Amino acid sequence: MESGVLFKAATDYMSLVLRFLKERRDITDLAEEMFNSIEEIEMEASFPEQQSTGGATIIAAKVVLPSCSPESRLALIPVYHQALDMLNSYDKLPSFTWMSVRPLFHQYLDSIPNDTPGATQHLTLLIKIFDVMSRSFKVRDDFFSYRHILSAGRVITITLEIIKNVDRDVALRKLALEVLSRIVRQCPPDSAPVISILISGILGGLLRVTKGSTVNADLLENTIALFRDAIVLVFGDKAVKFDRSKLDLSTFPAEMHSLFDSRTAEWEKEAVAVINDYIRDLLGSYMIHRVNNVKRAACEMLCQVQGECSQVFGNTLHGCVLSMYTNLRYDEYECFQELAISSLTLIKDQNVIERYFYRELETISRRMPVQTRNGHGERALNVLSAVLSGLGEAVTLMCATESDTIEQLLRCIADCVVIDKKLLQITSEGVSETIEKELRKFKLLYNQSHQSVRHVCKVLVNLGKFEVIHMVHNLMKEETASRRATYHLLLAYMLSAMERNESSADEPIILMLAEYLVHDTNRACVYYLKEDENPYGQDFDNDWSTCIECLSCTNVALCMKFVGGAANRSHITINSLCTILNQTNSRTWVVAESAQFALMVLADNEKEVMINVHEMLRVYSSYILNTVSLACASSEDYHLAPLLLNAYLRYAEIDDQFEQCRIIVEKMLYALDSNEQKYTISLLQAIRTFMLALNKQYADHQPIVPPEDSEDQKYMPTPQHILTEKILLRTKHMLTSPHLPVRLTTLAILRECLVLVQYYDDALLPMIHQNWYGIMTIVKEKEPTSLTSAYELIIEMAEKSGTFVHGKVLNEFWPEVEGYLIRCLKKENDVHTADYRLVVKVIDRLPDLIAHSGITKQEADRTAFKFLNAAIEDQRTFTSFSQTQKTKIEQYFKDLMQVLPYKFEGEVVRGFGRGGKELGCPTANMDDTVVNGLPEKLAVGVYFGTATLDGKTYSMAMSIGWNPQYQNEKKTMEVHLIDYSGGDFYGRRLNGVILGFIREMKSFSSLDELKEAIAKDIEVAKRGTCEKFGKL
């Protein structure tokens, strides 16, 4: 492109614009055409030509704009933006000064329209002019000179009017603030005296912008930041100050002389005082503003003014700085905490800091309780934390001397931190994982914050060390229950905040505190022992003792991390551990949960050598069990023994401590025997827990196999079997206790004992027989809860002893409960009643009862099926379930018939000798291996079949079971060989085949009646064999 084309096009268009204006024609389309044409050829022109064209367009504004209407000015704004872009820097044109730009600038500044779109375009153009000025140092310096101060003043006046006008759009007000900020932020340091002449108007106007409750947050933030920059620009320690002696007043208009004359030292003093008030005003409104950016802007403004204008403001802002520190030192946001810490370094005189904080400490002690009850307790505690941090070592000294000031302060904190006991037991969230979560269970009144309490306690203990803990301990002893609960909470936060180190090990203050807490907790524990009438009930009274017990457990555990010396470790640690274990038995669930958390804390204290609570208790097992043993023999602490054993065995295993546990259990059995023990249920529950642990430790426990050379080949009991037999013998009378919980617990003990001796028949069967009376006593009472437990126990007896209880179930248990169960069927049962649960349990377990006790099809027809049919015919709640269970039982009997024929082979052994002598029907008793190998589904009763001896086959009648006529305690299998005439054949091998069932076992009223039944059985056996094989 030829040189000058761009310039010529621009000047031609400007000539057209002037002609259109002169003819009063609309220039909108022409301005758009000019913009587009220039844009097309602009990039082809050289850079100098672009600058010349841009400069010419700007200069022409002096001629063009005065004739323009508001609409024409708006139409030309894109053209001037284009011109400023081409110019890029005013300094590129040597002859260019501020006077060259001034007409364009003022035409748009002075004619800002009221409508937002138009005003936005005007302000955007002004910002563009300032942007180009920022790259034009010569023009910039010219603008910020005294000669053009009125231009700057005009900008300040017009933009502040827009910014302060709350009726204008927020976006427009922000744009006006951006224009105003260019006056401050683009001012070169040497021109600061020029702005100082206008500073009062700038700061006063900006302050008025911040007033009002609905000021936009972004506008506030930017206004405060500009307020700060203006102060630093004019009053900064490095700022160039106004010097009237350097001015030649003759070069300025007379009306400006008064501006210069007023800038005296007195003016600066008054200005600083006014600005000081402005700053206090801003801080009072926005230092705790809800919007963090506004809050941060206010605080940074103070810090920067104090840091960069200290020579001017001196110590006048120290109070503001210290106030900011106290309010923000423990703010919830870390950025403000860091700002507060750094602000304190701005004050060099430490005496000023100490005097301020001492005054604040006195003021806080008076005002904090009132502030807390007005809902400002969180802020008050944070301020207190900041004041204490500011005082630093002075607090350490006051705590070391047990100063009245610190004592008063602790009492004041206790007034402000009040636990809301009503909210303590609302819902359980399980055992806490952290100390913070545990302590937050204790909701605080007056909207007080746990975080603030934690902060103030951490500061106190970091400065006051163990001495402040000692002071809290002493205060706690003499206070009411509610206040003691508060001191416990404060102690917990203090102990958790202290770091463990070599110097803190075995600190006497901590040792005394731990002993006090252990003693106090153990003293309270007696009131929460389980009573026989109501051991399972929960205490829901929200009293202060509940809070104290919870926190005591936590504090005891926290104290233990400071116990490290061997001399104190065993005594204090064991006492503390036992105390916490005892509290895991508490009737109040929130206390029990706190005790469980405390155990976790204790284990964590020992994490270098232990990994969990179980491992910790294993390490201390001998010490704990020794404590239990001593408590058993104590006239004062006997009540703690079962609680402690119960708690210990819930978390630990017996391991190699069986002998010690055995001694303890025997002592507890003695307590039961003596009838002097008030709390029977606690003893029984401890014994039950012991049996649970024993079964876990010795699962599938077998008796001792006799040596091969022993004359008596009977299996021998282990120490565990012997102890279990003692427990069964000495607790069986508790089955007849008048207290339901005692009966239920004894049934549970019996169940666990049977599990341990299940493989030792010499203990299992006698124990079932001896406890049957007590079980039937429970059954006869028809109390549904205990009856349900007894029913389940009977099934377990049948499962473990085979058909030993067959006759007892048919002749004693079922006749006793059948009528009651049928009556329960006919009730309008609610699903939550004990009767309903009993019937459901009976129906559910009937198939197990029949299978394990060996009930035959005929016996089931007159017992179980009779009951199930009644439930089905009732056509109500249990119909469908009963039909399902009946189907299961019928399938069981079908499967049972598939067991026969059953073959067996074994050695004939000596029996009781009653068959031939008393009954005239000699029998051969099969050895135990044959009896034990019988199919589970083969019910007790009388069978027929064939047997082979010495190669000859005979018809046989055979009984399997316990022979109810003679009440045998051992299951037997007795074979009678029909038409056998030889002598006895002990020790010889007999093999046979069971072919069919004759009848179930039953007792007879006389020996003759029994003989008659045996004769009939032999006849049935002959017929049955003949039907199968013909005459043998």
Is the pLDDT assigned to residue 148 strictly greater than 70?
A: yes
Burial class (CB in 10 A: 0-12, 13-18, 19+), 914: middle
Closest CA to 398 of 411, 408, 412: 408
C-alpha distance from residue 235 to each of 102, 143, 148, 267, 273 (Å): 29, 21, 22, 13, 12
What pLDDT is stored for residue 721 in this prediction? Answer: 93
Is the pLDDT assigned to residue 378 strictly greater than 50?
A: yes
Closest CA to 558 of 522, 507, 523: 507
C-alpha distance from residue 961 to each of 403, 794, 968, 992 (Å): 87, 18, 9, 18
What pLDDT is stored for residue 690 in this prediction? Answer: 94
Q: Report the b/e string of 202-211 with b at 16+ CB within 10 A.
A: bbebbbebbe
Cα dihedral 170, 173, 177, 178, rounded to 10, equals: 80
Side-chain-side CA neighbours of 544 within 13 Å: the count stands at: 13
Beta strand ranges found along 403-561 (DSSP E): none
Tell me if 893 sits within 8 A of 857, measured CB to CB.
yes
C-alpha distance from residue 58 to each of 107, 154, 779 (Å): 12, 20, 112
DSSP assignment of 60-71, as one string? HHHHHGGG--HH
What pLDDT is stored for residue 937 in this prediction? Answer: 72
Beta pairing partners, 946: 955, 993
What pLDDT is stored for residue 1025 in this prediction? Answer: 77
What percent of the chain is modeled with pLDDT above 90?
A: 43
One-letter identity of residue 748: A
Q: Where are the alpha helices (DSSP H) in 144-264?
A: 149-164, 170-185, 192-209, 217-235, 257-261
CA 105/CA 111 separation, integer angstroms: 10
Summarised one tens digit per residue, pLDDT across range 649-696 is: 988 888 889 999 999 999 999 888 875 556 788 899 999 999 999 999
868, two tokens: 């199930």
Comparing 383-397, 418-432, 737-751, the range with the smallest average pLDDT is 418-432
Radius of gyration of the chain measured on its C-alpha atoms = 50
468, two tokens: 């402040």
Q: Which residue has the tokens 């009862």?
A: 849
Is the pLDDT assigned to residue 169 strictly greater than 50?
A: yes
- Select which of 974, 1000, 1012, 1027 is catalytic: 974
Secondary structure of residue 542 in the 3-state scheme: coil
For the residues 75-101, what does the mean pLDDT come to? 92
Q: Report the b/e string of 379-398 with b at 16+ CB within 10 A.
A: bbbbbbbbbbbbbbebbbeb
Is the pLDDT assigned to residue 521 strictly greater than 50?
A: yes
Summarised one tens digit per residue, pLDDT across range 939-973 is: 778 888 888 888 788 888 998 887 655 555 677 88
The contacts found for 857-866 with CB under 8 angstroms, 24 or more apart, are 857/893, 857/896, 858/999, 858/1000, 859/810, 859/1000, 860/889, 860/893, 863/810, 863/814, 863/818, 864/889, 865/889, 866/818
Summarised one tens digit per residue, pLDDT across range 113-138 is: 999 999 999 999 999 999 999 999 99
What pLDDT is stored for residue 153 in this prediction? Answer: 92
Identify the H or E element spanning 907: strand 902-909
What pLDDT is stored for residue 918 in this prediction? Answer: 65
Burial class (CB in 10 A: 0-12, 13-18, 19+), 623: middle
- Cα 788 → chain centroid: 38
Task: Determine phi and psi for 510, rounding to 5 degrees.
Answer: -70, -40
Tell me if 689 sits within 8 A of 681, measured CB to CB.
no
C-alpha distance from residue 546 to each of 331, 423, 481, 554 (Å): 33, 12, 10, 13
What pLDDT is stored for residue 527 in this prediction? Answer: 44
CA 936/CA 852 separation, integer angstroms: 8
Summarised one tens digit per residue, pLDDT across range 259-308 is: 676 777 777 788 888 989 999 988 888 888 889 999 999 999 999 999 99
Q: To the nearest whole number, what is the mean pLDDT of the chain?
A: 86
Summarised one tens digit per residue, pLDDT across range 522-546 is: 776 554 455 555 555 544 456 788 8
C-alpha distance from residue 750 to each of 111, 638, 971, 988 (Å): 102, 24, 22, 41
Q: Which residue has the tokens 């229950």?
A: 481
Q: What size, in residues, is the chain? A: 1032
For the residues 609-619, what does the mean pLDDT come to? 79
Task: Determine phi and psi for 433, rounding to 5 degrees.
Answer: -95, -25
Residues 6+ away with beta carbon under 8 Å from 519: none
Cα dihedral 94, 95, 98, 101, rounded to 10, equals: -100
Residues 6+ away with beta carbon under 8 Å from 433: none
For the residues 557-578, what does the mean pLDDT come to? 76
Tell me if 582 sits within 8 A of 525, measured CB to CB.
yes
* Bridge-based pairing state of the strands 941-949 and 989-999: antiparallel
Q: Is 436 annotated as catalytic?
A: no
CA 944/CA 953 separation, integer angstroms: 13
Residues 6+ away with beta carbon under 8 Å from 580: 553, 556, 557, 595, 598, 599, 602
Q: Which residue has the tokens 């069971």?
A: 994
Task: Determine phi and psi for 367, rounding to 5 degrees.
Answer: -95, -25
Summarised one tens digit per residue, pLDDT across range 480-509 is: 889 999 999 999 999 999 887 755 666 788
CA 723/CA 698 separation, integer angstroms: 13
What percent of the chain is modeled with pLDDT above 70?
A: 91
Closest CA to 787 of 815, 822, 747, 760: 747
Q: Tell me: cis bond preceding 766? Omega within 30 of 0 counts.
A: no
Closest CA to 938 of 958, 968, 912, 911: 958
What pLDDT is stored for residue 575 in this prediction? Answer: 86
Is the pLDDT assigned to residue 30 strictly greater than 80?
A: yes
Is the pLDDT assigned to residue 913 strictly greater than 60?
A: no
CA 207/CA 623 separation, integer angstroms: 73
Burial class (CB in 10 A: 0-12, 13-18, 19+), 995: buried
